[in-house]
Chains A and B, each alone.
Chain A
Amino acid sequence: MVDIPLDQVAGIPPAEVGEVELYHPRSWWTRYVFSQDAKVIAVQYSITAMSIGMVALVLSWLMRLQLGFPGTFSFIDSNQYLQFITMHGMIMVIYLLTALFLGGFGNYLIPLMVGARDMVFPYVNMLSYWVYLLAVLVLAATFFVPGGPTGAGWTLYPPQAILSGTPGQDWGIVFMLASLILFIIGFTMGGLNYVVTVLQARTRGMTLMRMPLTVWGIFTATVMALLAFPALFVASVMLLLDRLLGTSFFMPTLVEMGQLSKYGGGSPILFQHLFWFFGHPEVYIVALPAFGIISDLISTHARKNIFGYRMMVWAIVAIGALSFVVWAHHMYVSGMHPYFGFFFATTTLIIAIPTAIKVYNWVLTLWRGDIHLTVPMLFALGFIVTFVNGGLTGLFLGNVVVDVPLSDTMFVVAHFHMVMGIAPIMAVFGGIYHWYPKVTGRMLNDLLGKFHFWVTFIGAYAVFFPMHYLGLLGMPRRYHDIGETSFVPASAHDLNAFMSVAALIVGFAQLVFLFNLVWSLFKGKEAGGNPWGATSLEWQTPETPPGHGNWGKELPVVYRWAYDYSVPGAARDFVPQNEPPSGVVAQGAHP
Chain B
Amino acid sequence: MSAVILFMATIAAIAGWWLSQQRLAAKPWLEEGVAVDFRGERGASVSPAKIGLGVFLAVVGSLFALLISAYSMRNTMVDWRELPLPKLLWINTGVLIISSAALQWSLMAARRSDDEDVLVGLLVGGASAVTFLAGQLVVWQQLNVAGYVVASNPANSFFYLITALHGLHLIGGLVALGRTSAKVWRGAPMVQVRLSVELCAIYWHFLLLVWLVLLGLLTGWTENFVNICRQLLT
Contact = CB atoms under 8 A, between A and B. Distances in A.
Interface string B60-85: 00110011011001100111100000
B215 to A, nearest CB: 19
Interface stretch (B29-37, B114-122, B200-208): B29-37
A245 B157 CA distance: 10
A145 interface: no
Contact of A234 (B15, B31, B43, B70): B70
B112 interface: no
Given A227-B8, A249-B70, A266-B154, A309 B29 contact: yes
Interface residues on B, range: 35 or more
B1 A277 contact: yes
B70 A238 contact: yes
B24 A265 contact: no
A317 B161 CA distance: 34
A226 B62 CA distance: 9
A492 interface: no
A226 B49 CA distance: 17
Interface residues of A, number: 69
Contact of B33 (A230, A234, A559): A559
Given A4-B32, A16-B39, A237-B161, A227 B19 contact: no
Contacts of B51: 196, 199-200
B45 to A, nearest CB: 10
A324 B12 CA distance: 10
Given A16-B37, A561-B29, A249 B62 contact: no
Contacts of A324: 8
Given A270-B73, A277-B1, A209 B26 contact: yes
A313 B4 contact: no
A276 to B, nearest CB: 10
Interface in A281-322: 305, 309-310, 313-314, 317, 321
A231 B59 CA distance: 10
A121 B48 contact: yes
B59 A188 contact: yes
A199 B26 CA distance: 18
Interface string B169-198: 000000000000000000000000000000
Given A207-B35, A277-B1, A247 B63 contact: no
Contacts of A321: 12
Contacts of B56: 188, 192
Which 9 residue pairs of A and B lie closest in terms of their CB atoms, listed nearest first? A265-B79, A9-B33, A561-B28, A230-B63, A247-B157, A246-B151, A120-B48, A200-B48, A209-B26
Interface of A: 1-2, 4, 8-9, 11-13, 16, 120-121, 188, 191-193, 195-196, 199-202, 204-205, 207-210, 223, 226-227, 230-231, 233-234, 237-238, 241, 245-249, 262, 264-267, 270, 273-274, 277, 305, 309-310, 313-314, 317, 321, 324-325, 557-561, 563-564, 581, 584
